[in-house]
Amino acid sequence: MTSAQASDRIVFRDVSKFYGEVLGVNKVNLEVTPGLTGLVGPNGSGKSTLMHLMTGLLRPSRGEISVLGVSPGCPEQLFHLVGYCTQYDNFPNGSTGLSFLRFALALHGYSNREADERAWAALGRVGLSDAANRRIAGYSKGMRQRVKLAHAHCHDPRVLVLDEPLNGLDPMGRAEMIDLFTDLAKEGRHIIVSSHILHEVDVISDGVIMIHGGAIVAEGGIREVRGEITSHPIQVLIRCDQPHAVASRIFELEHVVEARIIERDGLLVRTRDAADFFTQFNRIVIDTGVVVETVVPADESVHAVYDYLIGEGQGGGSA
Amino acid sequence: MTTPSNLLQRRQAVTLARHEIRRSLFSRRSLAVYVLVTMPLALMLLRALFMPGSLRADATHATTEFAEVFHFFLLRFVVFFANAMIFVRLFRGEILEKSLHYTLLAPLRRTVLVVGKYLGGVLSASLVLVITTTMTYVLVYLPHGSAGLQLMLSGSGIANLVSYLLIVVLACFAYGALFMLAGLFFKNPMVPAIVFLGWETLTPFLPTFLKVLSFVHYLVSFAPIPVNLGAFALLAQPVPRWIAFFALAVSSGLLVFAASRVARRLEVTYSAD
């Protein structure tokens, strides 16, 4: 990896973390590129440990970590680049939203005036301007979540690490925060989001990291990850005007293991060779002259991939 | 942020110190410290109320009485425990409150974090204890009327007060560094604090080679009026003030250095605490 690449990536090299004799994460190798990355895994799988390691709140027992070329062991450099919204729901006693952010920004070296401006801007961005001077102890769960998000991004970091950032937010708040994360990612930042709500991770993430039992089980774009799971045929949903005719032709293909009519105009196909399937399907469409409305992958989602890789072993599909 | 590194570190240390002063002096938890420092004042008020008339006339007693109160109550109890309460909380308080990570998520060297918090603790403890000592001093002389006031405001009276205040401030530096380290190291730092109080209390009865391992041995070198430590006390040569100052400064510095080493390895695992 070149130094230019190193300064643009979050890299874990053979990282392990043990709490005494208890395994936190084991031999993690990762390279996270800019964009919105979802971190998915069941409770206790090592998501928060991974995030703590990335931000220096934990030190690795083994291996090396580099965040945009900076070691998490150098907080004086790291936290100019990184903001972290942890899962902890506690705040310094007596703080108001504004004083909490002002103190954080003062530690970043901003003057009183700059700290004030940035604190107000960050609180505005998460919709807390009206509650800025109220004590955090009196905030609702959703407001506390918002003030933590404001704390994480008030200094304009290039990397935002967000541990279950949508917890406690109402549907409107979730939508607003998802928009905020998407905007920040579009600006070329790294946004790493852990969530147990797979649907949300699916909607917002460019890539996904799946962790289970302290080990990374999959990493990359959701399509690539799904493509590598050969044990489960890929599912394709076709909507057309002659599903029975298409089904009979498709069944002749060697790699198709199932073709099932669903509803009136839907056909669900399971195939072991997606690339060949799409080539052959184009030919069938031309030959039969069917009118095709949609052809979409039915299990190229975080949820499906999670189920295949982790959920089945857990006896369920949610993290 | 492109503030030069040294300037940024100084700013961060000042920000942390101011934050700690607010937390130490104006939070709900500081109530225990205020109750503690009110005790000698209450004691002196009771003494003033119930002092026999014959004693009121003789102000010379006040000087030795304050020396005894200072040695056996102010220094060994009030100053000791006020420092324990303030400095143990610098880190342990935030760990128990589960809010330490917010400070650790700042672009801050852990050494600066330790120094900033320590300075905040020293300033808070010194302010509270200097005021308490001064008020206690005044309350010892006040019942003796104009003769007492004259003695208190005389050259030697003021010089004595300055010496006592110097002891209090030096104690804040030394005990402060020790308790801050204890707060980083132990889950329940009050246990080692009480063990150390026992050690400090036993100092007069220890042989010289063990006396040197206590802070109070050096602190009393600055005391203007010697006190009778009892029949079983083992007398030792008083430590010259410059050596005492040097010993306290070096030991405080070493303890702060040790605390910064521990802070550098500090991890956030609240569930374990």
Instruction: Look at residue A308 and tell me if it is in a domain.
Output: no
Q: Report whether A201 contacts A306 (CB < 8 A).
A: no
Alpha-carbon distance A252 to A272, whole Å? 14
Same domain, A193 and A249: no
Q: Where are the domains of chain B?
A: 5-272
pLDDT in tens, A249-286: 888 888 888 888 887 778 888 888 877 888 888 888 88
Instruction: Look at residue A307 and tell me if it is in a domain.
Output: no
Instruction: Look at residue A317 and tell me if it is in a domain.
Output: no
- What's the length of chain A? 319
| Mean pLDDT across chain A | 86
Q: Is B106 close to A108, i.e. CB distance below 8 A?
A: yes
pLDDT in tens, A140-191: 989 999 999 999 999 999 999 999 898 878 888 888 888 888 888 888 899 9
Same domain, A37 and A132: yes
Three-state SS string over B6-63 comes to HHHHHHHHHHHHHHHHHHHHHCHHHHHHHHHHHHHHHHHHHHHHHCCHHHHCCCHHHH
* pLDDT score, position B38: 96
What is the mean predicted confidence (pLDDT) over A22-36? Answer: 91
Same domain, A246 and A211: no
A91 touches chain B (CB under 8 A): yes
CATH at A212: 3.40.50.300
**Up-side HSE of residue B84: CA atoms within 13 Å toward CB?**
21
pLDDT in tens, B53-81: 777 777 788 898 899 999 989 999 999 99
CATH at A249: 3.30.70.920
pLDDT in tens, B168-223: 999 999 999 999 999 998 888 888 888 998 888 888 788 878 888 899 989 999 99
Same domain, A240 and A216: no
Instruction: Look at residue A309 and tell me if it is in a domain.
Output: no
Residue of A nearest to B26 (CA): A94
Residue of A nearest to B96 (CA): A90
Instruction: Look at residue A201 and tell me if it is in a domain.
Output: yes
Same domain, A148 and A278: no
Instruction: Look at residue A113 and tell me if it is in a domain.
Output: yes
Alpha-carbon distance A18 to B179, whole Å? 29
Instruction: Look at residue A305 and tell me if it is in a domain.
Output: no
State yes or no: ipTM above 0.90.
no
What pLDDT band is residue B234 in, cutting at 50, 70 and 90? low
Q: Say what percent of chain A tops pLDDT 90.
A: 44
What is the mean predicted confidence (pLDDT) over A27-53? Answer: 91
What pLDDT band is residue B85 in, cutting at 50, 70 and 90? very high
B273 touches chain A (CB under 8 A): no
In chain A, the number of structural domains is: 2
For chains A and B, CB pairs below 8 A equal 88
Q: What is the pTM of this model?
A: 0.85
Give the range of the structural domain holding residue A72, as residue numbers without chain letter. 3-226
